[in-house]
Chains A and B, each alone.
Chain A
Amino acid sequence: MAALNTGDIAVTVRGIITSLMDSDKRADRIKPSSRIREDLGFDSVLIIDLMVELESRLGVYFDPYVHDLVEIFYTVGSLEEFVSSSMRENG
């Protein structure tokens, strides 16, 4: 997988988030501080869909036995940070 910089990761992550939301919230209104559940209205099922979509599109891997998924999926920023560091580790 071609290396993505932080900016590309943010665009991709926010694009996937928007595609899963059925309201008209545009990607550029989503901020790093936006809380995925409370502010963007994701429930557990939608978060799993988000996780699967990220794994499939970006090749990152979320392991419920190793990663604190609640912490990772707390805000858009915490999610982007996890994705960036995963991609850095895995090259």
Chain B
Amino acid sequence: MNPAPNQLIPESLSLDDGLLAKAAEEFSTPLYIYDAAMLDREWERLRLALPEGVKVCYSVKANPSLAVIDRFHKLGAGFEVSSPGELKAVSAVRPDLAGTFLVGPGKSTAELEQALKAGVPLIAVESSAELKRLWEAASKLQQPTKALLRLNPGRAKGQQQMAGLTQFGMDPDEALAALGADPNGAPVEIVGFHAFLGTRLLKAEDIAQNFKAVFETARELQSAANKRLPVLDLGGGFGVPMYEGEEWIDPVALKARLAPLFEEHLHHSPWTTGLMVESGRFLAASSGVFLTRVVDVKKVWGRNYVIVDGGLHAIGGRDPYLGARATPLRLVGRDSPLASVTLCGPLCTPADRLAARITMPKPREGDLIALYLAGAYGLTASAGLFLSRGFPAEVVAENGTLRLVRQPLAYEALLAGQRL
């Protein structure tokens, strides 16, 4: 028996089978559906876990759909963007880019100039060379901006042999040197630090340890440089349970664990008026359902295979285990005797596997299957161009109504921009 961990499906999700069937009928499959009220709910749950006065930035990379960005904009979120495309998406929702900051290890001079021209108020700088490029760009354009230094404290969660050995940010020595370097009149003000140390963190203790490392490094650097910097972005990595044995973070327990760390830091550094955290997955994942229709059911060498129309190209980005670990999923709209089946998408690769040898009501051709926790790292993290399949549409569900918020990218459109 290997059932899907459907206890992880959020109870308050309002996407019932009737609505899912209606969506599949109206918009065809594969399809992403987002429950708008669930976005609101996860925002509130994250806020519950944080002390007052801590700003929350939505990490656009988790789901860059304008409708989702707009929802978080209305809730008061800032935005963390890490590419020109994400910057453009936020501009479409919030043209003044208030509360937006740009991060990422590969910011070229052209990208920095584009960000400055667009009026990005805050840029997290990842290296000394990038800081110099930013100074040059800001001087050239006479466009002032504020900057954070992205830290790599080298003490990431897990303490395994490769902890902290990533391409991101500056080690404390380099950050100290950057704090003391002379911008030669460039209108760039370094106002604090940024760090992002972990992902998919499900234990309050792990999140707390990461934040503690950032707090400590920020204090040490300010002390060594004799500076008082008001902004500190602690990062995020608030996880979403997707597999058997994992559990949702309890926001109240998390707050209890984090509050003393925040208090201690503010006691020591009361000038820290700009505390921030980031979240993408926690805010967006649970609102999303991925809907796909069964195209074929077969038995090969004694094993049941169920082939659906939405596979690796449509939702593969979300699951590094290629279905080896079951994620929450259901047969929609009817019941049937349990069977062990392997769910696969339509691509010609064994990697196109949504669920391996899972126990579920046996589907038949034409059935709908819903995969849950699909609101983050779903569509845009998947290989839509692979096998020239294209990308699914996205629909928002609110108060029982459905509205299309992203048209599908059909395979015909993939020919655009090409020539012999």
Binding site for B on A (CB under 8 A): 43-45, 48-49, 51-52, 63-68
- B196 CB to nearest chain A CB (Å): 11
Can you give 18 contacting A-B residue pairs, CB < 8 Å? A43-B350, A44-B351, A45-B322, A45-B324, A45-B350, A45-B351, A48-B320, A48-B321, A48-B324, A49-B356, A52-B324, A65-B166, A65-B199, A66-B158, A66-B162, A66-B163, A67-B160, A68-B162
Residues in A neighbouring B353, C-beta threshold 8 A: 45
Residues in B neighbouring A43, C-beta threshold 8 A: 350
Task: Considering the complex, give the chain B residue whose CB is closest to the CB of A61.
Answer: B158
Residues in A neighbouring B158, C-beta threshold 8 A: 63, 66
B322 touches A48 (CB 8 A): yes
Q: How far is the CA of A22 from the CA of B320 in the complex (A)?
A: 24
Q: How far is the CA of A51 from the CA of B322 in the complex (A)?
A: 11
Given contacts A48-B321, A63-B158, A66-B162, 17 further A-B contacts (CB under 8 A): A43-B350, A44-B351, A45-B322, A45-B324, A45-B350, A48-B320, A48-B324, A49-B324, A51-B321, A51-B324, A52-B321, A63-B160, A64-B320, A65-B166, A65-B198, A66-B156, A66-B158
Residues in B neighbouring A49, C-beta threshold 8 A: 324, 356
Task: Considering the complex, give the chain A residue whose CB is closest to the CB of B350.
Answer: A45
Q: Mark B158-181, 1 if CB is under 8 A from A, else 0.
A: 101011001000000000000000
Binding site for A on B (CB under 8 A): 156, 158, 160, 162-163, 166, 198-199, 320-322, 324-325, 350-351, 353, 356
Q: How far is the CA of A64 from the CA of B166 in the complex (A)?
A: 12
Task: Considering the complex, give the chain A residue whose CB is closest to the CB of B200.
Answer: A65
Task: Considering the complex, give the chain B residue whose CB is closest to the CB of A49.
Answer: B324
- B77 CB to nearest chain A CB (Å): 25
A67 touches B351 (CB 8 A): no
Residues in B neighbouring A52, C-beta threshold 8 A: 321, 324-325
- B53 CB to nearest chain A CB (Å): 30
Residues in A neighbouring B163, C-beta threshold 8 A: 66
Q: How far is the CA of A65 from the CA of B160 in the complex (A)?
A: 11
A67 touches B162 (CB 8 A): yes
- A40 CB to nearest chain B CB (Å): 16
- B98 CB to nearest chain A CB (Å): 32
Q: How far is the CA of A83 from the CA of B332 in the complex (A)?
A: 40
- B264 CB to nearest chain A CB (Å): 28
Q: How far is the CA of A48 from the CA of B353 in the complex (A)?
A: 12
Q: How far is the CA of A83 from the CA of B308 in the complex (A)?
A: 36
Q: How far is the CA of A44 from the CA of B320 in the complex (A)?
A: 11
- A65 CB to nearest chain B CB (Å): 6
Task: Considering the complex, give the chain B residue whose CB is closest to the CB of A82.
Answer: B161
Q: How far is the CA of A43 from the CA of B160 in the complex (A)?
A: 26
Residues in A neighbouring B350, C-beta threshold 8 A: 43, 45
Q: How far is the CA of A41 from the CA of B45 in the complex (A)?
A: 46
Residues in A neighbouring B320, C-beta threshold 8 A: 48, 64
Task: Considering the complex, give the chain B residue whose CB is closest to the CB of A50.
Answer: B324
- B159 CB to nearest chain A CB (Å): 9
- A50 CB to nearest chain B CB (Å): 9
Task: Considering the complex, give the chain B residue whose CB is closest to the CB of A69.
Answer: B320
- A58 CB to nearest chain B CB (Å): 15
Residues in B neighbouring A45, C-beta threshold 8 A: 322, 324, 350-351, 353
- B314 CB to nearest chain A CB (Å): 18
Nearest 8 pairs of A and B residues by beta carbon: A52-B324, A66-B160, A45-B350, A48-B324, A49-B324, A66-B162, A48-B322, A45-B351
Residues in B neighbouring A68, C-beta threshold 8 A: 162
- B206 CB to nearest chain A CB (Å): 12
